[in-house]
Structure 1
Amino acid sequence: MIGALRNWTTGLALALTCGTAQAAPDLSAMTAGELIAFTKAMPKGGELHNHISAAVFPETLLQWAVEDGFCVDLKALAVRLACPATADYKSAAAAVTDPETRVALIDSFSTRHPGFRDRSGHDQFFGSFSRFGAASSKRSGDVLAAVMESLAAQNTFYIEAMTTPQGAGAYALGLRVGWKGGDLAAQQAANAAGGLDRLVAAAIAETDASEGRAREILKCGTPQAAKGCQVTVRFLMQTIRVLPPEVTFAQLQLGVALVAADRRWVGLQMVAPEDDPASLTHYRLHMKMVEALTGRGVKTPVALHAGELTLKYATPEDLRFHIAEAVRIAGARRIGHGIDLPHEDGAEVLAAEMAAKGVLVEVNLTSNHIILELSGEQHPYRWLRQRGVPVSLSTYDAGILRIDLSGEYARAVQEQGASYDDLKRSARNALAFSFLTGEGLWSDPNLYRRPAKACAGQIGAEVPRPGPCADLVAGSDKAREQWRHERALKLFETPPR
């Protein structure tokens, strides 16, 4: 790998000196080992699609279950907070000492063996949450620390982590208020009167505790600080689309209030299987909810799971409009998955609109392969790039899928024929299309040919020169993260001496 990296960086320097266009390595010529080492070392900007509750590997979850004194349901192969005194249950400590049970639990919590218990990848994936969720129920800070450290080890230093603070509180509020028959203004007023502000305060306290615990684990602020301390974390409020409408609305409203109250919270998401009957039934209503609460994405940034569908799990009718409504009604600035876009009515027009507006698609290759059995030429990754739709690679749920971000970059090369320029654009897009506040370093996101006027000729330097560029970087969260990434990229592309 070192030899390969040295060869291509030397070639890059020569190409730039000679003014030639060939200035990137041929990733297709690398062995599998060289490629994964290369993508791990490559600065990848950030990750925009990460459900952190499912980002921790099963082995770690089992260790936590043992430490916290939980138990295991041997029939369901699930961790439980408390268990009856019957033969079907064992303490987690006892369960993991049996090799066969331990292996079965890891299989139960992940998709490493397709067809486990005769489940499809789709059913195994979505069903696993209820089996492992208890193991991390008291470990939000530990989860965050694990995710931060994993990303830092892959030279990735920004994440928008999806999580649901005060989910139970918002659930209770929604049920208590009840459904107002589709009068969304009345629904919003009732939630506000019902104590939404108390949930906001509790969610902020929850965020404080989680971050504090993560920093404690990583020893941030001490001489022994782990590399994970360098990762900038922002949060997306993930709302659950399979719940009663009044509950989903309460969670969305809580998310909007959180983004307004706390700069660590930067946007909304909607999660759970898009092919679930409740998701399909209420999809158009959900888009109207988001529109009403966020001002079509103007008041609050919106990223939505949309188009995570194939004909194996939904009807042709369901594949015709989900992404279009997410963009045009809900005002989504990013689309998670988006794989049914070619099936949508007016697909070419919609793709052109997304390219013009800068609506990014968060691409999750392994997830789409495991859950929806979609890969290779069937995946629209190339189709999106050909039409100028911004894309960025992400993991989705790294722990269940047993992957990491570097592996997704390698998969894009091996399966989709991605070039180094494609990977570099994905990494830059993860910051340019993030919900970080402030002006960015680039005037042309997704192309990256025109730096912001204030920083022209300086991008890649160790520090900006005093003056307009230094002022831009100091005053913009987005520019600051981009500056760090561009410096890392410059060093990565510099030939070893």
Structure 2
Amino acid sequence: MIRRFWAAAGLAFVLAAGGAEAAPDVAKMTGGQLTAFARAMPKGGELHNHISGAIFAETLLAWAVEDGLCVNVKTLSVTPPCQPGEDLKPAAGIKTDEVLRAAMIDSFSVRHADFLDRSGHDQFFSAFGRFGAAGAKRDGDMLANVVDSLARQNTFYLEAMVTPQGVASRVKGAQVGWKGGDLAAQKAANTAAGLDALVAAAIAETDAMEARARALMKCGTPEALPGCQVTVRYLVQTSRVTPPEQTFAQLQMGVALIAADKRWVGLQMVAPEDHPLSIANYSLHMKMVAYLTDHGRTAKAALHAGELSMAYAAPEALRDHIAQAVRVAGARRIGHGVDLPLETGAEGLAAEMAAKGILVEVNLSSNDAILGVSGKAHPYAWLRQRGVPVSLSTDDAGILRIDLSHEYARAADEGATYADLKASARNAIAFSFLAGEGLWDDPGAYRRPAKACAGQVGKAEPKPGACADLIAASDKAREQWRHERLVAAFEAGAR
């Protein structure tokens, strides 16, 4: 069936294992064929998405106009309500000033690698400060934008990285001060200072964000946008470039939020890993996560680690960041993982991650733009060869001017097979932090469905009984069932 459908499109095929079925040979597709194929392919979900960096510059500028903000024509940034000044102009001016509009889009993205003589690394990380004001009050708008884009790419699960009560938790930490590394004393002092009270405010923020997104997408009405079908969970972003007491307070509040609200499913640590504070405090941060989560037993963590290259960090910083995230902090997933082959005992660490099922969230375009690591230099193929589970994601699609389909097409262009892409999509749900038992007894291999659903995976509906009960009781199994149904339709040639 898949042979018949894709042959009609002029695509090449290779025999699957055993020669029983044919799979699309993505290596032989033209650019246009691969683009269309990747967009239509069910991609399961996205596990590494900072929604604040996922919005394209054009949308951010439109919001700046709507909200009456200004642009600084010298720094090419958006500012809050306009104040008198020769460098400030109402954002509305970009409607008629094409030169300014183009410069602002450049400022918010990496589309011109040599923009203002900055490296891709510096352009990427500094962009947040230039466009941040445009999205400061648009959390729900950003969420709607991201999930609707994913749905239109046949992708229906998202773990979004957001910073709930970020400033308030940092302020609490600063008020308490640093207790000299006594993490138990630090936690007790934060609790006594009322840190846990921020959880209710974070839940209210989440409710408001989701309500705004649903309203924008007209969910529950005949005009509902596709994004209404996307299941969303959230990862608590915490900053690794603040003083230790502030980072700890953010982490502590995040763990409490995860315990209180099932929509929040894990911790993350963000900001440049090569920043001096990140380097200096990296081991301390891993100990913080380990202490607050009981080595991942009471709360899960998906940590940015190994987003480094020798262009931006000294060799000693590349020796063990991923190892510490896995072995000290108890991370269930690693974001980026680019420097893993450079770590001490890399082969043993990769084998350990494969055995434990610790997934690497792979961000090809991001790693190219920020670190200059691409093609054969990227460890994506190396990880696959060693059995480390991997899943493709975008990181910050707006700054990079990509989408998830682009990353799948890029992976194929750089040597991934259809089987690799299919595994990436499945991994995005199997290794998600969704609650419940999975649909597969062998996540990563996908040869053994759960006994309750044997012989039913890919069907429109589960049979009444054990399989239907599993899917009804498990968020993860439910998303996997939906994905397998989409894959079956895709491979049969249905749209």
Cα distance in 2, alignment partners of residues 23 and 12 from structure 1: 10
Aligned residues: 494
User: What is the CA-CA distance between 1:193 and the residue it aligns to?
Assistant: 1.1
SS in 1 for 2:262: coil
- Residue equivalent to 2:158: 159
- Residue equivalent to 1:93: 92
- Residue equivalent to 1:192: 191
User: What is the CA-CA distance between 1:443 and the residue it aligns to?
Assistant: 0.6
SS in 2 for 1:79: strand
SS in 2 for 1:159: strand
Question: Contact 1:79 / 1:133 at 8 angstroms: preserved in 2?
Answer: yes
- Residue equivalent to 2:407: 408
User: What is the CA-CA distance between 1:144 and the residue it aligns to?
Assistant: 0.3
Cα distance in 1, alignment partners of residues 19 and 311 from structure 2: 47
- Residue equivalent to 2:461: 463
- Residue equivalent to 1:489: 487
User: CA separation of 1:8/1:390 partners in 2, compared to 1, >3 Å: closer, same or farther?
Assistant: farther
Question: What is the root-mean-square deviation in Å for CA atoms of aligned residues?
Answer: 1.9
- Residue equivalent to 1:313: 312
Residue segments in structure 2 that go unaligned for 5+ positions in a row: none
User: What is the CA-CA distance between 1:82 and the residue it aligns to?
Assistant: 2.9
Cα shift readout 1:361-404 (whole Å, capped 9, x = no counterpart): 00000000000000011000111000000000000000000000
Cα distance in 2, alignment partners of residues 438 and 162 from structure 1: 21
Cα shift readout 1:257-281 (whole Å, capped 9, x = no counterpart): 1110000000000000000000000
Cα distance in 2, alignment partners of residues 73 and 194 from structure 1: 39
Question: Does 2:148 match 1:149?
Answer: yes
Question: Does 2:323 match 1:324?
Answer: yes
Question: Does 2:178 match 1:179?
Answer: yes
Question: Contact 1:141 / 1:209 at 8 angstroms: preserved in 2?
Answer: yes
- Residue equivalent to 1:333: 332
Question: Contact 2:14 / 2:25 at 8 angstroms: preserved in 1?
Answer: no
User: What is the CA-CA distance between 1:65 and the residue it aligns to?
Assistant: 0.3
SS in 2 for 1:302: strand
Cα shift readout 1:301-328 (whole Å, capped 9, x = no counterpart): 1000000001111111110010000000
User: CA separation of 1:411/1:14 partners in 2, compared to 1, >3 Å: closer, same or farther?
Assistant: closer
User: What is the CA-CA distance between 1:96 and the residue it aligns to?
Assistant: 4.1
User: CA separation of 1:90/1:495 partners in 2, compared to 1, >3 Å: closer, same or farther?
Assistant: closer
| Structure 1 stretch displaced more, 186-195 or 119-128 | 186-195
The residue type equivalent to 1:135 in the other structure is A
User: What is the CA-CA distance between 1:84 and the residue it aligns to?
Assistant: 2.8
Residue segments in structure 1 that go unaligned for 5+ positions in a row: none
The aligned runs of 1:97-496 (5 Å cut-off) are 97-415=96-414, 417-495=415-493
Cα shift readout 1:163-185 (whole Å, capped 9, x = no counterpart): 10111101110100110000000
Cα distance in 1, alignment partners of residues 47 and 4 from structure 2: 29
4+ residue stretches of structure 1 with deviation over 4 A?
Answer: 2-5, 8-16
Cα shift readout 1:177-196 (whole Å, capped 9, x = no counterpart): 11000000011111111112
Question: Contact 1:62 / 1:96 at 8 angstroms: preserved in 2?
Answer: no
Cα shift readout 1:113-166 (whole Å, capped 9, x = no counterpart): 001000000000000000000001110000000001100010000000001011
Question: Contact 2:70 / 2:90 at 8 angstroms: preserved in 1?
Answer: yes
Cα shift readout 1:438-472 (whole Å, capped 9, x = no counterpart): 00000111100000111100000111101111100
Cα shift readout 1:203-224 (whole Å, capped 9, x = no counterpart): 0000000000000000001111
Question: Contact 2:12 / 2:25 at 8 angstroms: preserved in 1?
Answer: no
Question: Contact 2:3 / 2:24 at 8 angstroms: preserved in 1?
Answer: no
The residue type equivalent to 1:276 in the other structure is H
SS in 1 for 2:127: helix
User: CA separation of 1:334/1:14 partners in 2, compared to 1, >3 Å: closer, same or farther?
Assistant: closer
Give the alignment's TM-score, normalised by structure 2. Answer: 0.97
Question: Contact 1:8 / 1:25 at 8 angstroms: preserved in 2?
Answer: no
User: What is the CA-CA distance between 1:197 and the residue it aligns to?
Assistant: 2.1
The residue type equivalent to 1:7 in the other structure is A
- Residue equivalent to 1:74: 73
Q: Percent identity?
A: 68
Give the alignment's TM-score, normalised by structure 1. Answer: 0.97
Cα distance in 2, alignment partners of residues 5 and 473 from structure 1: 30
Question: Contact 2:368 / 2:374 at 8 angstroms: preserved in 1?
Answer: yes
The aligned runs of 1:45-84 (5 Å cut-off) are 45-84=44-83
